[in-house]
Amino acid sequence: MASLRKREAGRRRLEANKRQVCNVTGCTKRRHGLSYFCHAHAFAARHHGHPLARKIKKKEYEHERKHVVRFLRLHSAHGAVNAAYELAGLWLREAEAGQPVPAQEQMARLAAGGVTGAEIIEEVLALWLYSRWHPTGLPDDIRLTKALGTNVLLLVPREASSELTPGGEKKYRRLGALIRAEVGEHIRRVFGVFALNVLTAIERQIRAKQDAAQALRTPFPDPLSTPTAPPEGDAGPH
Protein backbone atom coordinates (compact mmCIF):
# COMPACT_ATOMS: atom_id res chain seq x y z
CA MET A 1 0.00 0.00 0.00
CA ALA A 2 1.21 3.47 -0.94
CA SER A 3 0.43 5.08 2.39
CA LEU A 4 2.28 2.34 4.22
CA ARG A 5 5.32 2.77 1.98
CA LYS A 6 5.13 6.53 2.52
CA ARG A 7 5.01 6.08 6.28
CA GLU A 8 7.95 3.67 6.13
CA ALA A 9 9.96 6.22 4.08
CA GLY A 10 9.10 8.93 6.60
CA ARG A 11 10.24 6.75 9.48
CA ARG A 12 13.52 6.00 7.71
CA ARG A 13 14.08 9.70 7.02
CA LEU A 14 13.47 10.46 10.69
CA GLU A 15 15.91 7.74 11.80
CA ALA A 16 18.55 8.95 9.33
CA ASN A 17 18.12 12.56 10.49
CA LYS A 18 18.43 11.59 14.15
CA ARG A 19 21.84 10.08 13.43
CA GLN A 20 23.09 13.41 12.07
CA VAL A 21 24.75 16.09 14.18
CA CYS A 22 23.12 19.45 15.03
CA ASN A 23 23.72 22.19 12.44
CA VAL A 24 24.98 24.71 15.00
CA THR A 25 28.76 25.07 14.68
CA GLY A 26 30.46 23.43 17.64
CA CYS A 27 27.36 21.56 18.83
CA THR A 28 27.97 17.80 18.82
CA LYS A 29 24.47 16.68 19.86
CA ARG A 30 22.27 14.59 17.58
CA ARG A 31 19.43 16.22 15.69
CA HIS A 32 15.93 16.30 17.11
CA GLY A 33 13.09 14.83 15.03
CA LEU A 34 13.23 16.18 11.49
CA SER A 35 14.93 19.40 12.62
CA TYR A 36 18.38 20.49 11.50
CA PHE A 37 19.15 21.10 15.16
CA CYS A 38 19.44 19.23 18.46
CA HIS A 39 16.58 19.52 20.95
CA ALA A 40 17.89 22.64 22.73
CA HIS A 41 18.80 24.51 19.56
CA ALA A 42 15.53 23.53 17.86
CA PHE A 43 13.66 24.86 20.89
CA ALA A 44 15.54 28.17 20.76
CA ALA A 45 14.90 28.51 17.03
CA ARG A 46 11.17 27.96 17.52
CA HIS A 47 10.68 30.07 20.65
CA HIS A 48 13.25 32.82 20.25
CA GLY A 49 13.61 33.02 16.47
CA HIS A 50 17.17 31.65 16.13
CA PRO A 51 19.01 28.52 17.34
CA LEU A 52 21.45 30.67 19.31
CA ALA A 53 18.87 33.12 20.66
CA ARG A 54 17.75 33.13 24.29
CA LYS A 55 15.29 34.95 26.49
CA ILE A 56 16.32 38.54 27.30
CA LYS A 57 15.98 39.00 31.05
CA LYS A 58 14.35 42.08 32.57
CA LYS A 59 17.48 43.19 34.38
CA GLU A 60 19.37 43.28 31.09
CA TYR A 61 17.31 46.26 29.91
CA GLU A 62 16.91 48.09 33.21
CA HIS A 63 19.07 50.91 31.88
CA GLU A 64 16.95 51.31 28.74
CA ARG A 65 13.77 51.20 30.84
CA LYS A 66 14.98 54.21 32.85
CA HIS A 67 15.34 56.25 29.66
CA VAL A 68 11.88 55.14 28.50
CA VAL A 69 10.18 55.93 31.82
CA ARG A 70 11.75 59.39 31.94
CA PHE A 71 10.71 60.09 28.38
CA LEU A 72 7.13 58.91 28.90
CA ARG A 73 6.79 61.06 32.04
CA LEU A 74 8.08 64.10 30.19
CA HIS A 75 5.62 63.52 27.34
CA SER A 76 2.67 62.16 29.31
CA ALA A 77 0.37 64.74 27.71
CA HIS A 78 1.45 63.91 24.15
CA GLY A 79 -1.33 62.57 21.96
CA ALA A 80 0.69 59.64 20.64
CA VAL A 81 1.62 58.47 24.13
CA ASN A 82 -2.00 58.57 25.22
CA ALA A 83 -3.15 56.81 22.06
CA ALA A 84 -0.59 54.04 22.65
CA TYR A 85 -1.77 53.55 26.26
CA GLU A 86 -5.37 53.57 25.10
CA LEU A 87 -4.85 51.02 22.31
CA ALA A 88 -2.85 48.66 24.52
CA GLY A 89 -5.47 49.01 27.26
CA LEU A 90 -8.24 48.28 24.78
CA TRP A 91 -6.42 45.14 23.64
CA LEU A 92 -6.46 43.92 27.27
CA ARG A 93 -10.09 44.85 27.92
CA GLU A 94 -11.34 43.30 24.69
CA ALA A 95 -9.38 40.13 25.43
CA GLU A 96 -10.92 40.01 28.90
CA ALA A 97 -14.38 40.41 27.38
CA GLY A 98 -13.71 37.44 25.08
CA GLN A 99 -13.51 39.48 21.86
CA PRO A 100 -11.51 37.95 18.98
CA VAL A 101 -8.26 39.90 19.44
CA PRO A 102 -4.72 38.56 18.90
CA ALA A 103 -3.67 36.10 21.63
CA GLN A 104 -7.05 36.62 23.32
CA GLU A 105 -6.64 33.99 26.04
CA GLN A 106 -3.16 35.13 27.04
CA MET A 107 -4.04 38.82 26.97
CA ALA A 108 -7.08 38.07 29.16
CA ARG A 109 -4.67 36.38 31.58
CA LEU A 110 -2.56 39.57 31.67
CA ALA A 111 -5.67 41.71 32.18
CA ALA A 112 -6.81 39.50 35.06
CA GLY A 113 -3.32 39.86 36.53
CA GLY A 114 -3.77 43.65 36.62
CA VAL A 115 -1.50 44.60 33.72
CA THR A 116 -2.29 48.03 32.22
CA GLY A 117 -1.86 49.42 28.72
CA ALA A 118 0.85 51.77 30.00
CA GLU A 119 2.83 48.81 31.41
CA ILE A 120 2.72 47.03 28.06
CA ILE A 121 3.95 50.17 26.27
CA GLU A 122 6.79 50.68 28.75
CA GLU A 123 7.88 47.05 28.40
CA VAL A 124 7.75 47.18 24.61
CA LEU A 125 9.72 50.43 24.36
CA ALA A 126 12.37 49.35 26.88
CA LEU A 127 13.01 46.07 25.07
CA TRP A 128 12.94 47.76 21.67
CA LEU A 129 15.49 50.35 22.83
CA TYR A 130 17.65 47.50 24.16
CA SER A 131 17.59 45.87 20.73
CA ARG A 132 18.77 49.15 19.14
CA TRP A 133 21.60 49.56 21.60
CA HIS A 134 22.64 45.88 21.74
CA PRO A 135 22.54 44.60 18.18
CA THR A 136 24.41 41.48 19.29
CA GLY A 137 21.80 40.67 21.95
CA LEU A 138 18.83 41.01 19.61
CA PRO A 139 20.43 41.20 16.19
CA ASP A 140 17.50 40.69 13.85
CA ASP A 141 13.83 41.35 13.37
CA ILE A 142 12.55 37.84 14.05
CA ARG A 143 14.34 37.75 17.37
CA LEU A 144 12.96 41.14 18.38
CA THR A 145 9.44 40.05 17.41
CA LYS A 146 9.70 36.88 19.51
CA ALA A 147 11.29 38.75 22.43
CA LEU A 148 8.53 41.38 22.39
CA GLY A 149 5.90 38.63 22.49
CA THR A 150 7.68 36.62 25.17
CA ASN A 151 8.41 39.47 27.55
CA VAL A 152 5.00 41.09 27.27
CA LEU A 153 3.37 37.71 27.97
CA LEU A 154 5.59 37.31 31.02
CA LEU A 155 4.39 40.58 32.58
CA VAL A 156 2.27 38.21 34.62
CA PRO A 157 4.01 34.93 35.54
CA ARG A 158 2.61 31.93 33.71
CA GLU A 159 -0.08 29.93 35.46
CA ALA A 160 1.02 26.79 37.18
CA SER A 161 -0.96 23.82 35.94
CA SER A 162 -2.73 21.62 38.48
CA GLU A 163 -0.35 18.71 37.93
CA LEU A 164 3.11 18.58 39.48
CA THR A 165 6.35 17.37 37.93
CA PRO A 166 7.55 13.86 38.91
CA GLY A 167 9.83 15.67 41.39
CA GLY A 168 6.78 17.26 43.06
CA GLU A 169 7.49 20.73 41.71
CA LYS A 170 5.03 23.13 40.15
CA LYS A 171 4.67 22.71 36.44
CA TYR A 172 4.19 25.86 34.36
CA ARG A 173 2.29 25.98 31.13
CA ARG A 174 4.77 26.73 28.44
CA LEU A 175 4.20 29.76 26.24
CA GLY A 176 3.92 28.37 22.74
CA ALA A 177 6.10 29.61 19.90
CA LEU A 178 3.06 30.68 17.86
CA ILE A 179 1.53 32.78 20.62
CA ARG A 180 4.82 34.63 21.20
CA ALA A 181 5.04 35.42 17.50
CA GLU A 182 1.37 36.44 17.35
CA VAL A 183 1.79 38.94 20.20
CA GLY A 184 5.12 40.24 18.87
CA GLU A 185 3.80 40.72 15.35
CA HIS A 186 0.67 42.51 16.57
CA ILE A 187 2.80 44.86 18.68
CA ARG A 188 5.06 45.68 15.76
CA ARG A 189 2.12 46.23 13.42
CA VAL A 190 0.23 48.54 15.77
CA PHE A 191 3.02 50.27 17.69
CA GLY A 192 5.96 50.10 15.26
CA VAL A 193 5.87 53.70 14.02
CA PHE A 194 5.16 55.03 17.51
CA ALA A 195 8.07 53.05 18.97
CA LEU A 196 10.45 54.28 16.28
CA ASN A 197 9.41 57.89 16.96
CA VAL A 198 9.91 57.50 20.70
CA LEU A 199 13.29 55.78 20.38
CA THR A 200 14.71 58.30 17.94
CA ALA A 201 13.43 61.15 20.15
CA ILE A 202 15.13 59.57 23.20
CA GLU A 203 18.38 59.31 21.24
CA ARG A 204 18.08 62.91 20.02
CA GLN A 205 17.50 64.06 23.59
CA ILE A 206 20.58 62.21 24.84
CA ARG A 207 22.69 63.68 22.04
CA ALA A 208 21.43 67.22 22.70
CA LYS A 209 22.35 66.84 26.38
CA GLN A 210 25.82 65.57 25.49
CA ASP A 211 26.35 68.43 23.05
CA ALA A 212 25.25 70.97 25.66
CA ALA A 213 27.56 69.41 28.26
CA GLN A 214 30.40 69.60 25.76
CA ALA A 215 29.62 73.25 24.92
CA LEU A 216 29.58 74.04 28.62
CA ARG A 217 33.26 73.10 28.81
CA THR A 218 34.35 75.46 26.03
CA PRO A 219 36.95 77.87 27.51
CA PHE A 220 36.63 81.62 27.06
CA PRO A 221 39.44 83.50 25.24
CA ASP A 222 42.10 85.23 27.32
CA PRO A 223 41.09 88.94 27.40
CA LEU A 224 44.73 90.12 27.17
CA SER A 225 45.86 88.09 24.15
CA THR A 226 42.69 88.39 22.12
CA PRO A 227 40.86 91.58 22.94
CA THR A 228 37.18 91.15 22.30
CA ALA A 229 36.26 94.28 20.46
CA PRO A 230 32.60 95.14 20.42
CA PRO A 231 31.02 94.37 17.04
CA GLU A 232 30.94 97.16 14.53
CA GLY A 233 28.24 99.70 15.07
CA ASP A 234 27.85 98.75 18.72
CA ALA A 235 28.72 101.61 21.03
CA GLY A 236 28.98 99.30 24.01
CA PRO A 237 27.34 99.79 27.36
CA HIS A 238 26.21 103.30 28.15
- DSSP annotation of 30 reads B
Closest approach, Cβ 151 to Zn ion, in A, equals 24
d(CA 57, CA 121): 17
Q: Does residue 217 sit in helix, strand or coil? A: coil
Closest approach, Cβ 214 to Zn ion, in A, equals 48
Nearer to Zn ion by Cβ, of 19 and 238: the residue is: 19
Q: Determine phi and psi for 194, rounding to 5 degrees.
A: -60, -50
Q: Determine phi and psi for 170, rounding to 5 degrees.
A: -65, 140
* Contact indicator for 197, 205 with CB cutoff of 8 Å: no
Nearer to Zn ion by Cβ, of 34 and 90: the residue is: 34
Closest approach, Cβ 41 to Zn ion, in A, equals 4
* Contact range with Zn ion by CB under 5 A, out of 41-49, 82-90, 128-136, 179-187: 41-49
Indicate whether 27 belongs to the interface with Zn ion (CB under 5 A). Answer: yes
* Contact indicator for 92, 115 with CB cutoff of 8 Å: yes
Residue 160 pairs in a beta bridge with 172
Nearer to Zn ion by Cβ, of 51 and 89: the residue is: 51
Indicate whether 38 belongs to the interface with Zn ion (CB under 5 A). Answer: yes
* Contact range with Zn ion by CB under 5 A, out of 37-45, 83-91, 186-194, 219-227: 37-45
Indicate whether 124 belongs to the interface with Zn ion (CB under 5 A). Answer: no
Nearer to Zn ion by Cβ, of 19 and 217: the residue is: 19
Nearer to Zn ion by Cβ, of 54 and 63: the residue is: 54
Closest approach, Cβ 143 to Zn ion, in A, equals 17
* Contact indicator for 118, 75 with CB cutoff of 8 Å: no
* Contact indicator for 71, 61 with CB cutoff of 8 Å: no
